[in-house]
Amino acid sequence: MDWVNVITPRKLRDFWQEHPQAEKPLRAWEKLIRRSAPTHFDELKQIFGSVDFVPPESTVFDIGGNKYRLITFVAYSAQRVYIKHVFTHREYDLWTEQNRKGGKG
Q: Are 41 and 59 in contact (CB under 8 A)?
A: yes
What does DSSP assign to residue 101?
T
Q: Kindly report the CA angle at 22 between 49 and 58, in degrees rounded to 5?
A: 45
pLDDT greater than 80 at residue 3 = no
Nearest to 34 by CA among 74, 2, 68: 2
* Residue 17 to residues 40, 43, 48, 87, Cα–Cα distance (Å): 32, 31, 24, 13
| Residue 102 pLDDT | 60
Q: Please determine, for residue 1, whether its predicted confidence score (pLDDT) is greater than 50.
A: no
The model's pTM is 0.87
